[in-house]
Amino acid sequence: MQLLLSYISFLYLSTGCQEASTAEKTITDSLPVITVKKQPVHDTIPAPVILRPYSSLVYEKTELLAAAPGTKSVLFNTTGSKLYAMNLEGMSVYEFDQPSRKITREFKFKSNKGTGWDYVKEKPIASFQEKPVEACFSHDDKILWVSLHNAEGIVPIRVDSIEANRKPDSIRHAVKKITVVYPGSSKKDSFDVPLIKTGKTPKIISKTVDSKYLLVSNWHSYNVSVLEMNKDIYPYGKIISTIPVSSIPRGIAVDDKNNKSYVAIMGGASIAVINNSAWMKEEDMAVASNPRHIVMDTSQRIFVSYNRLAKIACIDAVTGNTLFSASTHAQPRTIILSKNHKFLFVTCYSSDFVDVYKVNDSNFEKIASLPCKGHPVGVDLFENNDKLEAWVCSYSNGSISVFSFKKK
């Protein structure tokens, strides 16, 4: 019974709503296969995918897919059947079919003039409001929440049903206009989605496992917005708390088991620890400089990428101590753990590499460095019993690279 409870905790812990291998490596500590029934909490939670244990990854091939200009992030739905690419410069969201690699729908925003930010010269620039940055699924993958870089807010898109996006006539609310294009067809749909104001330059969006709360890191507002969600009441979310942080926030990891959230303060050298009951900051955990993205496993360990330092680290969430670290190629951005939490994938922006590490008990062991042109930035993983695919979007060349590995 104790093993079963531990494994259930593993399955339901949230980690936030991202050409040749150097060697073949083996991992240990495979997980037992236990069938777990879906438990309703507020809204239904997607049934976990039970995968056969595997002990190694063998690189097989790389595929290159055409995407849109300035693709910033990618996100699979729970089943892995669809991948969504947030095209910042293309001002759209692409929906890819995983088996065929084809674009099935494009959600195209109508552009409006806005003020952007030049990250090199560090000054405001003329731009457009509707630039998708990051995304998060909620409510059984029915709602795709997307942050808009220059609109000071986020929008919920009902990807399960076009009709579900229709705004009630009796409600007045700020909206963003979307046209849905179906490649290879003359068919088009259009609708408005509500714009929920969060803060200036919203970035990462992450949710609690029960789809009740949503967290948004607001880069230029130095705060984190907390929304209470309800898929049945338009606009599906409302701000209930705004949590100040010490400097620029970005990555968010939600720990549902311990009722906490961790926010990477990219503009400083800390991780803000948030109490998810009071929605208040408890403390600032001192870490190395410029943490960008964070994810968690089920052992109270936080994994973080340090953009300027070209490092990744594993941190004890209880003590704040760094357990171990490793060097990466230049500018590590998005990181993601495999479903068994034994592999870590890292996109390295300016160096044009994707680094892959085996996560041991006391160290990272690099098992691959994969060339990836065009400044790779976002990554998410598809897995089944036989293979693992890392889908990586490159910002400057408008492409998605699919790195395939065979499981053994």
Domain limits for position 208: 2-407
Nearest to 96 by CA among 407, 392, 404, 405: 392
The structure's pTM equals 0.88
- The predicted-structure confidence for 293-315, as pLDDT tens digits, reads as follows 999 999 999 999 999 999 999 99
* pLDDT, tens digit, 9 for 90 and up, residues 22-57: 333 333 333 333 333 334 444 444 555 678 999 899
Please report the pLDDT score of residue 56 as a whole number: 93
CATH number of the domain residue 240 falls in: 2.130.10.10
DSSP category for residue 31: P
Mean pLDDT of 254-262: 97
Please tell me the distance from the alpha carbon of residue 337 to that of residue 326, in angstroms, as a whole number: 15
Do 303 and 297 form a contact (C-beta atoms < 8 A)?
Answer: yes
Q: For 133-175, how does the pLDDT look when each residue is reduced to its tens digit (9 = 90+)?
A: 999 999 999 999 999 999 999 999 999 999 999 888 888 899 9
Cβ contact 18:74 at 8 Å:
yes
* 88, 149 contact by CB (below 8 A): yes
Is 200:219 a contact under the CB 8 Å cutoff?
A: yes
Q: How far is CA 196 from CA 142, 152, 175, 381, in A?
A: 18, 8, 9, 29
* Residue-by-residue DSSP string for 50-94: ------EEEEEEEEEEE--TTEEEEEE-TTSSEEEEEETTTTEEE
Angle at 307 (CA atoms; ends 123, 279), nearest 5 degrees: 80
Q: What is the pLDDT of residue 235?
A: 96
Query: What is the residue-averaged pLDDT of the chain?
Result: 90
Q: Which pLDDT does position 394 carry in this prediction?
A: 98
Phi, psi of 7 (to 5 degrees): -70, -35
- Tell me the pairing of strands 143-148 and 132-138: antiparallel
Chain centre to alpha carbon of residue 159 = 17
Express each pLDDT in 215-236 by its tens digit.
999 999 999 999 999 999 999 9
**Cα-based angle 266, 267, 272 (whole degrees, multiple of 5):** 60
Q: What one-character DSSP code corresponds to residue 115?
A: E
Count how many domains the chain has. Answer: 1
